[in-house]
Amino acid sequence: MQRYKVEPGTDVDLSHWDPDGSATFQVGKKEGKRALPGLNERLEQLQEVLYAEGKHKVLIVLQATDTGGKDGTIRHVFEGVNPQGVDVASFKKPTSEELAHDYLWRVHRHTPGSGEMVIFNRSHYEDVLVVRVHDLVPADRWQRRYEHINAFEKLLADEGTTILKFFLHISKDEQKERLEERLEIPEKNWKFATGDLAEREHWDDYQTAFSDMLARTSKPWAPWYVIPANKKWYRNLVISQIIIAALESLDMQYPPPEEGLDDIVIV
């Protein structure tokens, strides 16, 4: 999985990352989809130990262009995990209350506690993406935010949070197909927003903003992974493998049972 990791301190040009790649797993779509339930089961086991042990915290960040697959990733990769210990935080347009605070205020409130896994569907990175592309704040202001974000994530990591960040990389042609699908399939009409077309006009600007985001905020304590996401089944396999490997590296254990349980008789 290291082939998808953005090494700290390296430049990133997304045009050099293949969104259609599937080289890591030498299987086709049918075999790939067949392998996912086994990964779901392993992730479910690890998440249960995470919750029971109550020691570690896990933050998973998902960023992508519109139609990039954030919702689908959550639905398929985390299928079966215990909702008692997993939360999804979605960050949309800031409210008036949120705008009255610093831009990280609304994010910090949703970070995981001990034993919890939190998935950010979009995140604090919107404040170096949307605000940059649409010129919502002066350039010197959003440029300072890279340093803020790195320090914020270092704080979380120092306090015991494992951070995994995934950029779901799709091509412009793939986005076109997915937008057309939302128009053509009645059950998906609700997902189509004309605003997505306006954002699509800024495709090149967003690719530049994403590239800078990846280069400037992939750190040892909070690495970015660029996930080829044109093939949904492959996206799910890669992300599942990375998360499972990270959880296994924590060497988590169930808490020891109370003493004397062998003598208890339930009548």
* Tokens (6 digits) for 223: 């690495």
Divide the 267 residues of the chain into consecutive groups of 10 and give the mean pLDDT of each group.
Answer: 91 94 76 90 96 96 96 94 91 91 95 97 95 95 97 98 98 96 92 90 96 97 97 95 97 87 82
| Residues 16, 18: Cα–Cα separation, whole Å | 6
DSSP annotation of 69: S
Task: Provide the pLDDT for residue 151.
Answer: 98
Global confidence as pTM: 0.94
Query: Phi and psi (nearest 5°) for 120?
Result: -90, 115
Residues sharing a CB contact under 8 Å with residue 98, sequence separation 6 or more, in sequence order: 105, 106
Hey, what amino acid is at 44?
E
Burial class (CB in 10 A: 0-12, 13-18, 19+), 185: exposed
Question: What per-residue confidence (pLDDT) applies to 83?
Answer: 85
Dihedrals φ, ψ of 101, to 5°? -115, 175
Which pLDDT does position 26 carry in this prediction?
A: 66
* CA atoms of 20 and 54, how far apart (whole Å): 38
* Torsion, Cα of 176, 215, 224, 4 (10° steps): 70
Question: Regarding the domain with residue range 2-251, which homologous superfamily does it belong to in the CATH classification?
Answer: P-loop containing nucleotide triphosphate hydrolases (3.40.50.300)
The two tokens of residue 104 are 């990280």
- CA distance readout (Å), 91 to 61, 95, 116: 11, 10, 19
Q: pLDDT at position 1, please?
A: 75
Domain boundaries, the chain: 2-251
For the residues of 72-119, what is the DSSP string, one character each?
Answer: HHHHHHTTT--TTSEEEEE--SPPHHHHTS-TTHHHHTTS--TT-EEE
Of 194, 59, 78, nearest to 124 by C-alpha is 59
State the pLDDT at residue 261. 79
Distance in angstroms (rounded) separating the CA atoms of residues 156 and 153: 5
**pLDDT for position 82:** 85
Please name the helix (run of DSSP H) or strand (run of DSSP E) that holds residue 57, with its range, or none: strand 57-64
